[in-house]
Homo-oligomer: A and B are copies of this chain.
Amino acid sequence: MNVVVTGGAGFLGQRLARKLLARGALSAPDGRREPIERLVLLDVVPASDFGDPRVRVIAGDLSDAEVVREAFSAGAASVFHLAAVVSGQAEADFDLGMRVNLDASRLVLEACRASGRKPRVLFTSSVAVYGGELPPLVDDRTALTPQSSYGVQKAIGELLLGDYTRKRFVDGRVARLPTISVRPGRPNRAASSFASGIIREPLNGEASVCPVGPDLRLWLLSPRRAIDCLINLHEIPAERLGRARSVNLPGVSVSVAQMIDALRVVAGNAAAQRVRFERDPVIERIVGSWPSAWDVTRATSLGLEGDIDFEAIIRAYVEDDR
């Protein structure tokens, strides 16, 4: 079977690719396990192919219909649609966000529909689809009330994937991701970039600026568990999901102060002292609008697992990425 990963050069895309190559197989649209013969990694910059002959790297703009056509030229039984303009950037550049997060998502869905094979499509959504006055318990069926352009574009992606699934054009699954922490590498333009930076930079002996107050609570998931959840959600038989295709992935709810306390436990006081607070009202408004936790009953019943606590997340980062 052929698998397409959009955002395949990104941090999650590359990690997913490695895991898929190691697994070697996935459930095909008919539910039978099939070997992965071809893995297309599509991104605006060239992805690593890991020296694996199954990998085909395509570098190009996902909002260019020609590029999408090329990526799907050999067909696709499974699509992991991870590509997105991140929250801070989509807020600063509205048109870019609409072009990639909405228009390109439509091109991907249309390519899937045109294939006629009803591929499984795993789409990553986000905490950012929620916001404003939230009910005491946020769950998979809570109203989507995004307070950022990124959140609006993700919510629209969810609605489209739902309708394409209902129309039997695709077999869609939406993973609503908590904030991913700890991401390796450098800061990016996600409003939540600091949720990795305040751990990663101090572990590297560098200073880090935290743009939100110590009491702000975040809902976090490690990259390791996130990738497991994406693959597991892909593998669940359609009939177990029913009509409701958006699943809130499990997270751990921690305040920024608790994150720094955990850093102190794992890496000592000197590391913890490398975090300096300097508030940024734009970031505070966006991240503060997201839920700091949500009900995980459905995810758990589907066998999707999060992390034990934030200390475990830091230790996983040290193990996997340093």
The yes or no answer to A141 lying at the interface (CB within 8 A) is yes
Question: Does the CB pair A159–B146 fall under 8 Å?
Answer: yes
Which chain B residues lie closer than 8 Å to A156 at the CB level? 156, 159-160
Question: Does the CB pair A160–B152 fall under 8 Å?
Answer: yes
A167 and B144 in contact, given A132-B243, A156-B156, A156-B159 (Cβ under 8 angstroms): no
Which chain B residues lie closer than 8 Å to A143 at the CB level? 141-144
- Of residues 82 through 131 on chain A, the ones whose CB sits less than 8 Å from some CB of chain B are 94
The yes or no answer to A279 lying at the interface (CB within 8 A) is no
Task: Give per-residue flags for A222-248: 1 if the beta carbon is below 8 A from chain B beta carbons, else 0.
Answer: 000000000000000000000100000
Task: Report the bound CA distance from A144 to B152 in whole Å.
Answer: 13
The yes or no answer to A263 lying at the interface (CB within 8 A) is no
A166 and B141 in contact, given A152-B160, A159-B155 (Cβ under 8 angstroms): no
Which chain B residues lie closer than 8 Å to A192 at the CB level? none
Task: Report the bound CA distance from A143 to B132 in whole Å.
Answer: 14
Task: Report the bound CA distance from A147 to B242 in whole Å.
Answer: 13
Task: Count residues on chain A whose CB falls below 8 Å from chain B CBs.
Answer: 20
The yes or no answer to A149 lying at the interface (CB within 8 A) is yes
The yes or no answer to A163 lying at the interface (CB within 8 A) is yes
Which chain B residues lie closer than 8 Å to A149 at the CB level? 163, 167
Which chain B residues lie closer than 8 Å to A159 at the CB level? 144, 146, 152, 155-156, 159
The yes or no answer to A197 lying at the interface (CB within 8 A) is no
Which residue of chain B lies nearest to A157 when distances are taken between CB atoms in the complex? B156
Task: Give per-residue flags for A161-183: 1 if the beta carbon is below 8 A from chain B beta carbons, else 0.
Answer: 01100110000000000000000
Task: Report the bound CA distance from A230 to B163 in whole Å.
Answer: 29
**Most B CB atoms within 10 A — which of A149, A156, A166?**
A156
Task: Report the bound CA distance from A160 to B98 in whole Å.
Answer: 10
- Of residues 131 through 154 on chain A, the ones whose CB sits less than 8 Å from some CB of chain B are 132, 141-147, 149, 152
Question: Does the CB pair A94–B152 fall under 8 Å?
Answer: no
**Could you list 14 examples of A-B contacts with CB < 8 Å?**
A132-B243, A141-B143, A141-B145, A144-B144, A144-B159, A146-B159, A147-B166, A149-B163, A149-B167, A152-B159, A152-B160, A152-B163, A156-B156, A156-B159
List residues of chain A with CB under 8 Å of any chain B CB: 94, 132, 141-147, 149, 152, 155-156, 159-160, 162-163, 166-167, 243
Which are the 4 A-B pairs with shortest beta-carbon distances?
A: A143-B143, A152-B163, A152-B159, A156-B156
Q: A141-B143, A143-B144, A152-B162 are in contact. List 7 more A-B contacts (CB 8 A).
A: A94-B167, A132-B243, A143-B143, A147-B166, A149-B167, A152-B160, A156-B160
